[in-house]
Amino acid sequence: MRRERALRLAMACAVAAAVLMIDQVTKALAVAQLTGAERIPLLGDLLGLQLAYNPGAVLSLGASQTWLITLIGVGFTVVVCAALLRARTTGRALGLAFILGGAFGNLVDRLFAPPSFGRGHVIDFLAYCDLFIGNLADVALGIGGAVLVLDLLRKSSRTRRAAPARRPGLPIRPATRNGES
C-alpha cells in the first residue's frame, strides 16, 4: 500500500512539474514572439494567439488587488498540496496534479513577473473568441477539474453497483453477530 501511494505521489509530482515547465516555456515564447495589438488566428475566430498581461484573477476580476490574489494563490496551492498528499486514488492524484501545476504556473507569474514581487501580472496568450485570453496554466486547471469530476463520478458509479439491491418499502434489518436475522 505504501509503495502504491509513493508511486501515485511521484506520478503527481512529475505531472505538476511538467505542467509548470510547459506553462513557463510557452509564456516565455509568447512574450518573445507576440504583441498585445495583433491577434494571430489559429482556428478562425474561435482560438488565436494574442499577448496580454492580467493583473487580476479570472476575467481580470480584482485587477486592483493583485497582492490579495497572490496571497489567495499561495493559500490555494498549500491546500492543493495537502489534498494531494491525502489522495487515495490515481484519478484524484492526477486531477490535483494538473491543478497544482496550473496554480504554480500562475503563482510564479504573480510572484516574479513585473511590475513587482507579489504583484506580478499573469502572462496570457490564448485568445478564446472575443471572450477572454488565458494560458496553459488555465487549461491545466480546467483539465484537473474535469479529471476530479470524472474520478468522483466513477467512484459514485462503483458505490452504487456495490450496494445491495433493495426493494422500495422493505425495511433494512441490521445484521447480527453470527449473520442471523
In a domain, 41, yes or no: yes
Q: Looking at 23, 45, 109, 138, which residue is catalytic?
A: 138
Tell whether the model's pLDDT for residue 180 goes beyond 60.
no
124 and 134 Cβ atoms separated by less than 8 Å: yes
pLDDT, tens digit, for every residue of 155-167?
A: 877 776 665 655 6
In a domain, 82, yes or no: yes
Rounded CA-CA distance 126/79 in Å is 27
Q: How would you label 24-47 residue by residue, b for 16+ Cβ within 10 Å and e otherwise?
A: bebbeebeeebeeeebeeeeeeee
Residue 130 belongs to a domain: yes
Tally of domains within the chain: 1
For residue 140, what are the CA distances in angstroms to 20, 25, 48?
9, 14, 18
Q: What angle do CA 131, 21, 134 make, to 5 degrees?
A: 5
pLDDT per residue over 100-146, tens digit each?
A: 999 999 999 999 999 889 889 999 999 999 899 999 999 999 999 99
Does 171 reside within a domain? Answer: no
Q: Where do runs of H (alpha helix) occur along the chain?
A: 2-33, 66-86, 90-112, 136-162
In a domain, 137, yes or no: yes
pLDDT for residue 56: 81
Q: Is residue 166 part of a domain?
A: no
- Total-model pTM: 0.83
Cell of 161: 453497483
pLDDT digits (tens, 9 = 90+) for 25-77: 999 999 999 998 899 999 998 999 999 999 887 766 777 788 888 999 999 99
Identify whether 124 is a catalytic site residue: yes
Full domain range(s) for residue 43:
2-154
Annotated catalytic residue, options 23, 124, 130, 151:
124
